[in-house]
Amino acid sequence: MSLSIFLELLLILSSLAQVSSSIHTRYTFQQCLSTIRTPGTLFTPKDPNYTLLLNSTAENLRCITPSNPKPQVIFTPLNEHHIQTAVICAKKLKIQLRFRSGGHDYEGISYTSAMDPPFVLIDLSKMRAINVDLDDSSVWVEAGATVGELYYRVAEKSKTHGVVGGLCTSLGVGGHFTGGAYGSMMRKYGLGVDNALDAKIVNARGEILDRKSMGEDVFWAIRGGGGGSYGVIVSWKLKLVSVPDTVTVFSVPRTLEQGATKILYKWQHVAPHIDDNLFMRVLIQNVNLPNTTKRTITTTYNALFLGGVDRLLQVTNQSFPELGLAKTDCFEMSWLESVMFIAGFPKTVPTTFLLTAKPAFLNYFKAKSDFVRTPIPKKGMEGIWKRFLQEETPFMIWNPYGGMMGRISESSTPFPHRNGVLFKIQYVNSWIVDDKEAMKKHYKWIRKLYKYMGEYVSKDPREAYVNYRDLDLGMNDKNGDNTSVVKASAWGRRYFKDNFRRLVKVKTEFDPDNFFRHEQSIPLAF
């Protein structure tokens, strides 16, 4: 037999083995779950609704292209006991599990896999109960609910209570809070995890644990240590915070021709130190100048102030007159309406849209993150503008820190980016077609920008935000079993700094078989 024929035969046999393994995975997992006997909860690739369900909450379209590995089975549990059964079955059958609550996962690891398939997806979208308790100033919310639904149900009960959480309203509660959960009230109240009171989690033995039974170490780890490493989050209990009857918002653009560089340079010195009630982020992108083909950079100051317009203008006129904020730029509204404004919805969209749980924007994208501890000089910003004008649709968001974020210790939760951080940068490069060459081109651009920014951002480690997961920083070994702590530190220290060591210790004690694992899950200590 010739070498070429032999290699071709090996390839065919390998393919057949994979097909056989996939069929076996589907059959045995379905067999094991047969005790649940609930129709409409199990979907295989042969089911007509499989693709619709798989794609339903996938925000990053590059993660659901035909070349991406797909789950052998999608299971949509209706309650925590269904999750218990799924975990017990998967562990017994040695099947890899992925868990999805909202689908905002930037690298899609909650519903696809770059590790060895086959795998099963536990989609939590049918678990979205929300129980608001004003007497206790708390709310229990299941993992499959979105933060938009959560905000709406709280506001439905009280106009003077809110929840600390994300700015994108289609974020799933389960995964969002495992990474920290920052939002427009972070400078006033800290992160979502700083306001988490309790949680329910299913461990690798299929047990449902609350804060008391999981222990304080595990409760610490799941509040910012990233999703998918310790168990399946079933629900969170969150503290309700006070919000005024009336809040004020604005969204003010400034182009290079209007002095954007000078204004943004001043913003870096002001935004982290201004009144705690003011969250003023900056959205940066390319635009065409009106009635021309010439492109420029626009910096849009998108803000929430927990108070009325008159007080807001006092604050900005005193601390940030360079912005030139006018009363006509500002809009007073309820806190719930401000959620819609900050998320970018037109004023004509009613707040009831939050109950649809639909993502507002879908595209192919690659994202990265940085934390800035010293102001970026004007020369550095000019280098950013030069690179932006060479690309099609680049986007950056600068989110201010300071306030309460600087008063909580780095070790209080796994999220370590606290005192001394001026702002966080999110880089996004997007495209609209499923094309490999386009992806390579846009990947190359964002990686070059990230390299350029290394001079101006945090160092040793160069910090990154775990909820903007970036597989460029490194990955676990294919099977997830043999990754060393040293190797995993390449991304672990960027996400968690010195808290990474404690996360490893908790992981080793709580999930010693490393059942819950993915491309950047916390490794075992040995």
pLDDT, tens only, 468-523: 999 999 999 876 666 899 999 999 999 999 999 999 999 999 999 999 999 999 99
Q: What is the average per-residue pLDDT within 213-231? A: 97
pLDDT, tens only, 252-269: 999 999 999 999 999 999
d(C-alpha 460, C-alpha 331), whole Å = 42
pLDDT, tens only, 52-88: 999 999 989 999 999 899 999 999 999 999 999 999 9
Q: Is it the case that residue 16 has pLDDT exceeding 80?
A: no
Residues of the chain with pLDDT > 70, as a percent, come to: 94
What is the CB-side half-sphere exposure of residue 296 using CA atoms within 13 A? 18
pLDDT, tens only, 152-183: 999 999 999 999 999 999 999 999 999 999 99
What is the DSSP pairing of strand 295-305 with strand 247-255? antiparallel
Q: Is it the case that residue 430 has pLDDT exceeding 60?
A: yes
pLDDT, tens only, 471-483: 999 999 876 666 8
**SS3 assignment, position 326:** coil
d(C-alpha 152, C-alpha 198), whole Å = 21
**Residue in this structure with the two tokens 């190359």, named with its chain if needed:** 444
User: Residue 163: what pLDDT?
Assistant: 98
Q: Is it the case that residue 18 has pLDDT exceeding 50?
A: no
Contact 366, 442 (CB under 8 A): yes
Contact 266, 180 (CB under 8 A): no
Residues of the chain with pLDDT > 90, as a percent, come to: 85
User: Residue 21: what pLDDT?
Assistant: 56
Q: What is the average per-residue pLDDT within 100-127? A: 91
Which tokens sit at 485?
A: 């702590």
Sign of CA dihedral 397, 401, 403, 409: positive
Which segment of 118-122, 139-143, 147-151, 470-474 scores lowest on mean pLDDT? 118-122
Q: Is it the case that residue 328 has pLDDT exceeding 90?
A: yes
Please give the full DSSP string across 225-281, using - where no structure is assigned.
S-TTSS-EEEEEEEE-EE--S-EEEEEEEEEGGGTHHHHHHHHHHHTTTS-TTEEEE
User: Residue 386: what pLDDT?
Assistant: 98
User: Residue 360: what pLDDT?
Assistant: 65
Contact 338, 184 (CB under 8 A): yes
Q: Predicted confidence band at 15 (pLDDT cuts at 50, 70, 90)?
A: very low
Mean pLDDT of the chain: 93
What is the CB-side half-sphere exposure of residue 373 using CA atoms within 13 A? 15
What is the DSSP pairing of strand 196-202 with strand 232-239? antiparallel
Q: Is it the case that residue 11 has pLDDT exceeding 70?
A: no
Contacts (Cβ under 8 Å, ≥6 apart) of 334: 155, 159, 245, 246, 247
User: Residue 480: what pLDDT?
Assistant: 60
Q: Predicted confidence band at 38 (pLDDT cuts at 50, 70, 90)?
A: confident
Angle at 422 between CA 421 and CA 423, to 5 degrees: 95
Q: Predicted confidence band at 298 (pLDDT cuts at 50, 70, 90)?
A: very high
**SS3 assignment, position 98:** strand
d(C-alpha 492, C-alpha 507), whole Å = 13
Instruction: Clarify whether 106 is annotated catalytic.
Output: no
Q: What is the average per-residue pLDDT within 225-239? A: 97
Q: Predicted confidence band at 27 (pLDDT cuts at 50, 70, 90)?
A: low
User: Residue 24: what pLDDT?
Assistant: 61
d(C-alpha 155, C-alpha 173), whole Å = 17
Q: Predicted confidence band at 184 (pLDDT cuts at 50, 70, 90)?
A: very high
User: Residue 88: what pLDDT?
Assistant: 94
Residue 396 Cα distances to 333, 446, 508, angstroms: 27, 11, 37
Q: Is it the case that residue 17 has pLDDT exceeding 70?
A: no
Contact 80, 122 (CB under 8 A): no
d(C-alpha 354, C-alpha 149), whole Å = 6
Which tokens sit at 73?
A: 């089975």
d(C-alpha 174, C-alpha 179), whole Å = 10
**Phi, psi of 429, rounded to the nearest 5 degrees:** -125, 125
**Which entry of 301, 450, 456, 468 is annotated as an active-site residue?**
468
User: Residue 35: what pLDDT?
Assistant: 78
Contact 103, 59 (CB under 8 A): yes
Whole-model pTM: value is 0.93
Residue among 361, 365, 391, 381 nearest 286 (CA): 391
User: Residue 365: what pLDDT?
Assistant: 95
Contact 177, 143 (CB under 8 A): no
